[in-house]
Amino acid sequence: PVKKVLVVERNNEEITWVAGRDYSYNELIKYQDVKCEPEVMDSEDPLFLLYTSGSTGQPKGVQHNSAGYILWAQMTMEWVFDVKENDTYWCTADVGWITGHTYIVYGPLAMGATTIMFEGVPTYPDAGRPWKMVEEYKVNQFYTAPTAIRVLHKTGEHEPAKYDLSSLKVLGTVGEPIDPPAWKWYYEAIGGSKCAIVDTYWQTETGGHIVSPLPGATPIKPGCATFPLPGIMAEVLDEEGNKSKVGEKGLLCVTRAWPAMIRGVWGDEQRFVKSYFSDVKKDGKPVYFTGDGAIYDEDGYITITGRTDDVINVSGHRMGTAEVEAAIKKHPNVAEVAVVGKPHEIKGEGIFAYIVLKSDCGVADQIEEIKIINKIIQQEIGNIALCDDVVFVPGLPKTRSGKIMRRILRSIAKSEEITQDISTLEDPSIVAIIATEVQSCKL
């Protein structure tokens, strides 16, 4: 049970205090010395716990250590973003998530750079807000999620041209694979076709980047995470632990330990082993399985295909939701899409797509849009991947780090009661709106 809570008072918010439990930071800080002697820690002492969003099962308390984590945070800041001590760096994430921990607080400050912390939505008061900040603070590195890029593209396609973005040197993406149209706009409109884009792949559990291009050194390909970073032994393996062949989907694994890796699931050692070291073995030994699928191309580049548990089995054919989503995004009027599986009495599972359009259209036009979308899927994947259900929605349920909560969408598609915690969503009200849209389509 929670025994003591330190409350930071700000914005004149009304606070319901619990006597004996809650204490005001603003009052206590008045009596503290301006100097704080650092505590000497062992390299393996716990640094922090961060609970994952629990996209599969109950949230896990990911525990990171003191030395290895901070080392990797600083190294990847220097390698991946090419940050120098006199640079101004901006990561738009929330500090409560691992991206905020590593790449807003620990990483930039460890190597002496200036880091920008931003609270709020990037489209307020208009979609030019981020670009105005880049101009004002002369930002050198900009790091955000593909979701944010798509939103800014949709709501303010021509806003970047109004601002001086010449200070930018490196652009980064995080959180999910970036689709080629978003990558192209990011590269051309924001980076002026001059900035390197680092499509970073990592997880709460990895502590920092593990697969990413190095700016100015790695030839980049849109939507591709490219190569493992130095010291990271990441491989795409099949279920028997053999290295996957070019063009064949496999499982992204890390076969040797690295400095910032998860040290355990808090209070549950068994779950730690089961969650990360029980699915894949190489040469008879367990290896760390990320839970994500990936694929090699002819140049040895790694492209992330999405969570392996985000798989739909249609008439015996297994396909990743990311694969179907990528096809749907080729429609010029699609801003965002999330695909889930829905029980089907004949096929086992059918494909249910939630789509956010760039421009609204009438019912008749929506029917036509669905026909065009399925035609694109037919051309890109085949008839087996055609959508059984398509619902146009105003937005998707996303965490503040930009992660789409597909578990919620699966529950809505199945007409199940929403049991997931929606309080951490960027906009909790969107869940009821989507449920109403789906229900009206079924009537």
Each residue's pLDDT tens digit, 292-303: 899 999 999 999
* Residue 177 vs residues 145, 181, 223, 249, 322: alpha-carbon distances, Å: 9, 12, 6, 15, 9
59-88 pLDDT per residue, tens? 789 999 999 999 999 999 999 999 998 999
> Mean pLDDT of all residues in the chain?
90
Check residue 364 and give its pLDDT.
58
How large is the average pLDDT for residues 248-269?
95
Q: Which residue has the higher pLDDT, 269 or 52?
A: 269
At 423 the pLDDT is 79
What per-residue confidence (pLDDT) applies to 361? 64
188-197, 276-285, 312-321: range with lowest mean pLDDT: 312-321
Residue, of 152 and 317, whose pLDDT is higher:
152
pLDDT for 362: 56
Res. 56 pLDDT band, cuts 50 70 90:
very low
Q: What percent of the chain has pLDDT over 70?
A: 97
Peptide bond into 125 cis (omega under 30): yes
What confidence tier does 46 reach under pLDDT thresholds 50, 70, 90? very high
pLDDT of residue 377: 92
**pLDDT tens digits, residue range 279-292?**
899 999 999 999 88
- pLDDT at res. 378: 92
> Which pLDDT band, with edges at 50, 70 and 90, does 308 fall under?
confident
Q: What is the mean pLDDT of residues 382-392?
A: 91
Q: Is pLDDT above 60 for 57? A: no
Q: pLDDT tens across 417-439, in order? A: 887 778 778 889 999 999 999 98
pLDDT tens figures, 92-150:
988 888 999 999 999 999 999 999 999 888 888 999 999 999 999 999 999 998 878 98
Report whether 98 contacts 53 (CB < 8 A). no
Assign 369 a pLDDT band (cuts: 50, 70, 90): confident
Contacts with 252 (C-beta within 8 Å, 6 or more apart), sequence order? 211, 234, 235, 236, 289, 290, 292, 293, 294, 302, 304
Asked if pLDDT for residue 89 goes beyond 70, the answer is yes
> pLDDT-derived band of residue 384, with 50, 70 and 90 as boundaries?
confident
